[in-house]
Amino acid sequence: MTAAARVLELLAERGETLAVAESLTGGLVAAELTSVPGASRSFRGSVTAYATSLKRELLGVDEALLAARGAVDPEVARQMATGARRVLGADWGVATTGVAGPDPQDGKPVGTVYVAVAGPDDAENVTALRLNGGRTDIRRESVRSVLALLSAELGKNARAQDTEQNGGN
């Protein structure tokens, strides 16, 4: 089973939905998810906010943060995931932002990537990646990483729900 299929299966089992905000991956996360038959049960949609101004205008990323740190930043990734969740009306949001190359951006070297997940009950996680390879390799690994991060968060969240339902032990 692919990572996308596993994530969608977990979401469907829980009756929850997912929204995606992408920058460097340019729609590859959404494409991976929609390649799975039945994805529409859980996948709400995506925003490809490649331009920095769209991160602010569509996803609500803080303008001062973007001005101070640029678009390749862990807090930007977190705010993108939260923004996708809010704007697209989903239980979970994921985001990718980074430098796929060929040139550095905002003083960050090629291969600097941040992936983020935001979910119910203030569940949030951002992972910094330092990826090697060419542009295609970096983008594909970013997709794999954000889906793995979401899968891990769904697993943690499910265990927490089970503990609450079973009396905390």
Positive or negative, the CA dihedral 140, 113, 1, 20 is negative
Question: What is the C-alpha separation between 38 and 20, in angstroms, rounded?
Answer: 17
* Domains of the chain from N-terminus onward: 3-157 (3.90.950.20)
Confidence of residue 166 (pLDDT cuts 50, 70, 90): very low
Single out the residue of 33, 19, 1 nearest to residue 91, CA to CA: 19
Higher per-residue confidence, 75 vs 160? 75
Confidence of residue 163 (pLDDT cuts 50, 70, 90): very low
Question: What is the C-alpha separation between 80 and 59, in angstroms, rounded?
Answer: 6
Residue 41 has pLDDT above 80, yes or no: yes
Residue 135, CA distances (Å) to 31, 33, 98, 100, 117 in order: 17, 21, 11, 5, 23
Tens digits of residue pLDDT in 99-126 = 999 999 989 999 999 999 999 999 999 9
Residue 43, classified by CB atoms within 10 Å of its CB into exposed (0-12), middle (13-18) or buried (19+), is buried
Residue given tokens 């990718």 in the structure block: 96
Check: CB of residue 129 under 8 Å from CB of residue 145: yes
Q: What is the DSSP string of 12-49?
A: HHHT--EEEEESTTTTHHHHHHHTSTTGGGTEEEEEE-
